[in-house]
Copies of this chain bind each other. A is one copy, B any other.
Amino acid sequence: MSLIVPAKTKRVYLSKRPIEGIEKDTFVSETTYVKQPGPDEVVVRVDIVSLDPAMRGWIRDVRSYTPPVKIGETMRAGALGTVLTNGKTLKKGDIVQGYLGWTEYSTIKEKFLEKVVAPPGANPVDFLGPLGMIGMTAYFGILYVGKIKPGQTVVVSGAAGATGSLVCQIAKIKGAKVIGIAGAEDKCRWLVEDLGIDKAYNYNEQGWHSRFKREVGYLDVFFDNVGGSILDFMLTRLNLNARIVLCGTISEYNSSKPRGLQNYQTLTAMRASIQGFIVFDFTNDYPKAVADMAQWIQEGKLKRKYHIESGLENCPRYLQMLFRGENRGKL
């Protein structure tokens, strides 16, 4: 592809906040002029955008760790891109990551970008996976918040998802017994056969609760990407001092009236905790985490699976796919 700055770019902006699921009129796509870069800016061609569960939170108008996307604003998204203009530190042709958003071309301050150089065995796209926010979330969530120890039983929901599949593998590397929960038979097979976790349950299958009770019993750490009824069930499965790492509650993101947790009383009985966290709390330790992840990639211990679709204007549809669990691998 050429490294020429075009006159125009397509972008997809937030047009209306959804009440429940994402609707036809939530996002609108338009063609607009590419803004000339200021003295501390560069123009970047967006090559791959990452679609993540957190995006549902960004378009909700509530207090959170990050301000909501405004109406009319280009939809925020982590992305990989190629620099098209020379800046002060970046130069034409550099591959960068940052919140480039749902746009073909972005004019953005250099300080919001990070130049990426794939370590041995890795690919630039891994910076949207194990070497990026997803990977940091998995790493700090299971190791720093979950504090897993060898031999402990770890349960991961959304186990076949981008974060979950990394959590499963990190927990295995650290010697835990790993149980995955996913929403389809082929996802469960992938977890056990390809990723080598100990057991996987399909939550869409009748009777999985009783099989889980019989076969697994109780857990020490629950890494939850899903929330809702799976979290409520796991609250009945806590060992003493169990820790629930609340990473996401994707099952509730599209709901205006979330299902309540009934079984939280066990937290007192078992001296257990639910801990919400976000990866930005651990920025000081990113270099160590990236080094560990890069090493595991090089050693072939971290498998990744990407699900790549094309067409910027289709991003809203792909995002819906994510919430329906239709993707296979990091989207």
Interface residues of A in 233-248 (CB under 8 A from B): 240, 246-248
Q: Which B residues touch A265, using CB under 8 A?
A: 227, 249, 252, 258
Segment among A15-23, A273-281, A316-324 that sits at the interface with chain B: A273-281
CA distance A267 to B276 in the complex (A): 5
Q: Given contacts A249-B264, A260-B261, A262-B258, are A281 and B276 in contact (CB under 8 A)?
A: no
Smallest distance from the beta carbon of A213 to chain B beta carbons, Å? 12
Segment among A58-66, A97-105, A176-184 that sits at the interface with chain B: A58-66
Interface of A, helix, strand, loop or mixed by DSSP: loop
* Interface pair A269/B65, CB less than 8 Å apart: yes
Cβ-based interface call for A259 (8 A): yes
Cβ-based interface call for A125 (8 A): no
* Interface pair A273/B270, CB less than 8 Å apart: no
Say which residue of B64, B65, B274 sits within 8 Å of A273 (CB atoms): B274
CA distance A64 to B265 in the complex (A): 10
Smallest distance from the beta carbon of A230 to chain B beta carbons, Å? 13
Q: Which B residues touch A281, using CB under 8 A?
A: 271
Q: Which B residues touch A271, using CB under 8 A?
A: 65, 276-278, 281
Residue-wise, chain A 283-324 has the 8 Å CB interface mask toward B (1 for contact) of 000000000000000000000000000000000000000000
* Interface pair A274/B269, CB less than 8 Å apart: no
* Interface pair A257/B262, CB less than 8 Å apart: yes
Q: Which B residues touch A248, using CB under 8 A?
A: 268
Cβ-based interface call for A132 (8 A): no
Cβ-based interface call for A272 (8 A): yes
Q: Which B residues touch A272, using CB under 8 A?
A: 276
Residue of B nearest to A278 (CB): B271
Q: Which B residues touch A325, using CB under 8 A?
A: none
* Interface pair B257/A260, CB less than 8 Å apart: no
Cβ-based interface call for A57 (8 A): yes
Q: Among A62, A227, A265, which residue has the most Cβ atoms of chain B within 10 A? A: A265
Residue-wise, chain A 200-242 has the 8 Å CB interface mask toward B (1 for contact) of 0000000000000000000000000001000010000000100
* Interface pair A270/B65, CB less than 8 Å apart: yes
Say which residue of B247, B266, B270 sits within 8 Å of A268 (CB atoms): B247
CA distance A267 to B277 in the complex (A): 8
CA distance A39 to B99 in the complex (A): 75
Q: Which 5 A-B pairs have the closest CB atoms?
A: A260-B260, A267-B276, A268-B276, A64-B269, A273-B275
User: 7 interchain pairs (CB within 8 A)?
Assistant: A65-B271, A227-B264, A246-B264, A258-B265, A259-B260, A264-B264, A271-B277
